[in-house]
Copies of this chain bind each other. A is one copy, B any other.
């Protein structure tokens, strides 16, 4: 039986890399795309390229931004005495949407996971320590997921960042266990931020 045309097969394979896209939805998307108006597909292809080219990582905090340093790091109205530590850049936008935080951010870039060969030196911990060096930051809020690696990383940070005059807190366990920040709704995240507690 004749198979799908090659370009469609390749498109399906490329779409499968997207998060949450299985074989069936990739197929539906691909078949939809080859029949969509050309402007629409051009726009999507263009948007993908542009986003990849123009969005970079902030050299200070690690967030996604067009300008470096990012708006979170340069906005004077934000509290410079608090840093919220997150795993990935996406987590920043989840926290922003909760509307309960007005300080700075720091993206770790992962979690300590010995089984996957990820140690503390693979994460952005030294740059975080450097940001704390001048003593102007009074609180570090650790906002990592509640899975095993997230817990281990939180504890590691609480021990290794500890210093006279620095509060180290973590967001409350309002997150469902074993889940990441990206799946939490705004209210859960707002509650979690409000209920943060001392290590």
Contacts and interface: CB of A to CB of B under 8 A. Distances in A.
A-side binding surface: helix, strand, loop or mixed? helix
B2 A96 contact: yes
A44 B13 CA distance: 9
Contact of A50 (B10, B38, B51): B10
A177 interface: no
A15 B44 contact: yes
Contact of A40 (B2, B17, B70): B17
A14 B44 contact: yes
A81 to B, nearest CB: 18
A113 interface: no
A33 B48 contact: yes
B52 A33 contact: yes
A42 B33 CA distance: 17
A5 B89 CA distance: 12
Interface string A73-107: 00100000000000011100100100100000000
A30 interface: yes
A25 interface: yes
A36 B51 CA distance: 11
A33 to B, nearest CB: 6
A5 B41 contact: no
A29 interface: yes
